[in-house]
Each structure stands twice: as C-alpha cells, then as structure tokens.
Amino acid sequence: MTEFLSDLIFLLERLNWESLLDLLLVTLVFFIILTFIRDTQGMVLLRGVFLIILLLGLLTTLVNLPAFSWLVQTTLPSLIIAIPVIFAPEIRRGLERLGRAGGNTFIFRPKETRLTEIQSSIKAIVNACVQLSTKRHGALIILRRSESLQEYIQTGVQLNATVTPELLLQIFYPNTPLHDGAAIIANNRIIAAACVMPLSASGILNRTPDRQMGLRHRAALGISEASDAVAVVVSEETGSISVAHGGRMIRRLDAERLENILVAFYRPAPMETQNFFTQLFHRKPTRKKPAEEEV
C-alpha cells in the first residue's frame, strides 16, 4: 500500500497539460464505447470484465503474488483478443450509428416528402391500428424514413399498393398468408408485407414489469436499432399500440398520440443538417401521458 501511494504521489507531481490532454482523450474513448453499448447485453458483460480487471489489479498490486502475476500477464493478451469477439454485435451497432451520423452530416440529402403528402397515409395507419387494437389483431408496420430498407423488403411479398386502412386490416388478419411479418411503407405506398425484421438483442424488453411483449416488439426495436425507420406495433395479447424508434419504445398510445408522434417524425427539420455529435449522442425526450410507458 505504501508503494502504491508513493507511485500515486509521484504521478501527481509530474502532471502537466499534456498529461491532462492524454487523460481527457482516454476518457472520451471510454465515454463513446459506453454510449454505444448502453441498454444492451454488452453492458452486463462489460461490468463483469471491469470487475475481473479490478480484482486482478488489486491482487497483483497490494499482495506480492509472483506466480499469479505471471498468470495474469500471460492471459491478458488473450483477453484483449477475446473482447472484440464478445462485443461484436455492440461494436457493429455502434459503427452503424457512427456511419449514419457522419452520413447525415457530410452528405447532402434531398428534402423529405412534404408533410401534407404523407398525412393521408398516417391517418390511414392510425385508423387501421385503432381497429386492429380493438380486434386484438397483432400488427407490425415499418415506416421508412431516409435510410433504405431494401434488404428487408426483399424478404417479403412485393405489393406496391396505396396505403388504406382496409388493406392493412386484410394484411394483418389472423391466419392469412401475409399476417406473420412486417408491412413496410415508403413514399406513401405499402411496398411489401410479411417482411422479416432483425430482432433486438438489447434486452430492454426483458426489464419491463410485464412480459406481454413478444417477437413483434423485439422486431420493432431491432429495425429501429438497425435503421432510422419508425415501427408501429399492435399487441395481439393486449391490443396495446406502441411506437419504436432509435432503440426506444413508447407504449400504450391512443389514436391522437399515435398520430402526433408519426407526424412529428416526418415534420421537416429547421436545418438541413445537424451537428455530428448531436446526432450521435442526443436523444430528444418525449412527453408522455400517464397512460403511456417508455422502455
């Protein structure tokens, strides 16, 4: 312990602005890593890794254990190689988020479809979701925004049809050929139905008080993590309507609130581009009514 304190005092006496900059950069790297893997299963694994490293560091520093220290130094390179393998999904998700944020900053994008042109589609979606909720018919509707969903469209049945409540009700009618999967809407058209979506691995739904959310909700969160699309889910068990975007889900929505949320996603932004780090880290808070729940 005395040796540890003397080393610490030695370091503090030689601290200068270059050392502070070095510490700041290291802190920034860890902050970015933690931001990428928050609300994922990787966070639990990372806690375990940090705990092991802390215990090993204390044992090798405070107690003279030559053989154990040799074992730690021998296995440390293997641990460094294993970490990228363990955290591969989180690293990929983080790089995808980084690429989307960088693309939105440095690449010119044409203006989105004007709000007046999509309001009729939104009203049709809301109308269909209310009727599906009343009948307890499960549904998953994906609304494309700026990013392409072509790889998911190819997994379903091509429709290219006008968005109407009647068609959505028919698609998600139980035991019909198209009801199992997601309907993808883009440019005011139902592009495809029965599409396969990626399932979320974040574990957010596992921490909710109730367990009444199944594959549709996991698929909604999954596509919201993999793209900037908006996912609308109708629960087959409870009839509850939810919206997922950016790895977050707002549940138990009524018709008015659902329409307001969907309209807000397609309202033109005041600026054509946003700050890179703002897009990477910032998440706008959502005002919730008592009947709503965010996970």
Rg (Cα) of the chain, in Å, rounded?
24
Pair of tokens at residue 163? 């968005």
**204 belongs to a structural domain:** yes
**60 belongs to a structural domain:** yes
Pair of tokens at residue 210? 């109730």
Mean pLDDT of the residues in the chain: 76
Q: What are phi and psi of 25, to 5 degrees?
A: -65, -40
Q: HEC states along the chain?
A: CHHHHHHHHHHHHCCCHHHHHHHHHHHHHHHHHHHHHCCCHHHHHHHHHHHHHHHHHHHHHHCCCHHHHHHHHHHHHHHHHHHHHHCHHHHHHHHHHHHHHHHHHHCCCCCCCCHHHHHHHHHHHHHHHHHHHHHCCCEEEEECCCCCCHHHHCCCEEEEEECCHHHHHHHCCCCCCCCCCEEEEECCEEEEEEECCCCCCCCCHHHCCCCCCCHHHHHHHHHHHHCCCEEEEECCCCCCEEEEECCEEEECCCHHHHHHHHHHHHCCCCCCCCCHHHHHHCCCCCCCCCCCEEC
Q: What is the pLDDT of residues 219-274, one digit of tens each?
A: 999 998 888 899 999 999 889 999 999 888 898 899 999 999 998 888 755 544 44
Q: What integer is the mean pLDDT of 118-139?
A: 93
- The one-letter code for the residue type at 14 is R
Pair of tokens at residue 167? 């068609």
Whether 86 and 162 share a structural domain: no
How much is the pLDDT for 75? 74
**276 belongs to a structural domain:** no
**127 belongs to a structural domain:** yes
Q: What integer is the mean pLDDT of 56-70?
A: 74
How much is the pLDDT for 154? 92
How much is the pLDDT for 23? 81
Q: Flag whether pLDDT at 108 surpasses 50.
A: no
pLDDT band at 105 (very low <50, low <70, confident <90, very high): very low
The better pLDDT of the pair 20, 167 is held by 167
Q: Which residue, 168, 172, 169, 176, is CA-closest to 138?
A: 172
Report the alpha-carbon distance of residue 235 to residue 139 in Å, rounded.
Answer: 7
> What are 158's strand-pairing partners?
192
pLDDT band at 111 (very low <50, low <70, confident <90, very high): very low
Give the count of beta carbons closer than 10 Å to the beta carbon of residue 92: 12
**13 belongs to a structural domain:** yes
Whether 94 and 158 share a structural domain: no
Whether 163 and 235 share a structural domain: yes
Q: What is the pLDDT of residues 7-59, one digit of tens each?
A: 667 667 777 777 778 888 888 887 877 776 665 555 666 677 777 777 777 77
Domains held by the chain: number: 2
Q: What is the pLDDT of residues 169-184, one digit of tens each?
A: 999 999 898 988 999 9
Residue 151 sits in a domain of what CATH number?
Answer: 3.40.1700.10
State the pTM of this model.
Answer: 0.61
Whether 132 and 99 share a structural domain: no
Q: Flag whether pLDDT at 113 surpasses 70.
A: no
**184 belongs to a structural domain:** yes
In percent, the amount of the chain with pLDDT more than 90 equals 31
Pair of tokens at residue 17? 């602005």
Report the alpha-carbon distance of residue 147 to residue 224 in Å, rounded.
Answer: 11
Give the count of beta carbons closer than 10 Å to the beta carbon of residue 201: 16
Q: Flag whether pLDDT at 101 surpasses 70.
A: no
The better pLDDT of the pair 291, 72 is held by 72
> What are 186's strand-pairing partners?
189
**146 belongs to a structural domain:** yes
Whether 148 and 262 share a structural domain: yes
Pair of tokens at residue 54? 């802390």
Q: What are phi and psi of 138, to 5 degrees?
A: -70, 145
pLDDT band at 95 (very low <50, low <70, confident <90, very high): low
> 44: domain range?
2-106
Q: Flag whether pLDDT at 190 surpasses 90.
A: yes
Q: What integer is the mean pLDDT of 85-98?
A: 63
* Residues 6+ away with beta carbon under 8 Å from 232: 125, 129, 139, 140, 141, 142, 143, 220, 241, 242, 243, 258, 262
In percent, the amount of the chain with pLDDT more than 70 equals 65
